[in-house]
Amino acid sequence: MNLPNKITVSRVCLIPLFMIVVLIDFGWGNVTLLGDSIPVNHLVGAAIFIIASVTDFIDGYYARKYNLVTNFGKFLDPLADKLLVSSALIILTDFNYVPAWITIVIISREFAVTGLRMILAGSGEVHAAAMLGKIKTWAQIVAISAYFLHDFPLNFLPFSIADVALWVALFYTVYSGWDYFYKNRDVLIKSM
C-alpha cells in the first residue's frame, strides 16, 4: 500500500475517534471563545474532523505529484469522504443543528453516486472525483466544521456561517450529483 492510500486509510480510522469524542460526555465542560460557550468535546471533535478532512488534500497531492494514483485510491478516497461527512451530518442532525431532510438529501446523493461508481467499475471504468464533487466535499467540510465550532471565529456576524455553508453544500451536492449522472448516462442506460 502506497503513502497516499495509507493516508486515506488513516482518515477512515479517525472517524470512530471523532464520533466517540463528540458523542460521549467525558465531563470536559465548555470553553468560552469570543463570547460563545462551546463544549470542549465539540471543539476537540472539530479538530479531529478538520485533520481528517485535510488528509483528503494531502493524499491527493502525493498521489498526483509522485504518480501514485491507484484504482484503490480512486475508490477509497471518495468513500472515506462520504463516511466522514455522513457520520458528522448524522450527529449534527441528532444535535438538532442540521435539518434531517438536508442530511437525507446529502447521504442519498452519496449512495446514488457510489452505486453509479460501482456500475462504472463493472464496465471497466473508474472515475476520480470531478471538480464539482471536490467543491461539494469542501463546502460540506466547511459547514460541518462551522457547526461544531459554533461559527467560531466568525460568531460575531449577524448570520450563521455554518448555515450559509450548509446551503452552499446542499446546492453543490445536488448539482454535482446531477452532473455525475448526466455525464455517465450512456453507461447507466446500457446497464439497464
Quick one: 3-190 is in which CATH superfamily? CDP-alcohol phosphotransferase transmembrane (TM) domain (1.20.120.1760)
Q: Locate 127 and state its grid cell.
A: 472515475
| Domain extent listing, the chain | 3-190
Confidence check: pLDDT of 125 > 80: no
pLDDT, tens only, 100-118: 999 999 999 999 988 888 7
Placement of cell 452505486 in the chain: 115
- Quote the CA–CA distance of 80 and 5 in Å, as a whole number: 11
Alpha helix locations (H) across the chain?
3-23, 40-65, 71-94, 100-122, 131-148, 161-183, 185-190
pLDDT, tens only, 39-94: 999 999 999 999 999 998 899 888 989 999 888 887 788 889 889 999 999 999 99
| Beta carbons of 50 and 62 less than 8 angstroms apart | no
The closest alpha carbon to 73, from 56, 88, 85, belongs to 56
pTM reported for the whole predicted model: 0.90
What are the φ and ψ backbone dihedral angles of 27, each rounded to 5 degrees?
A: 75, 30
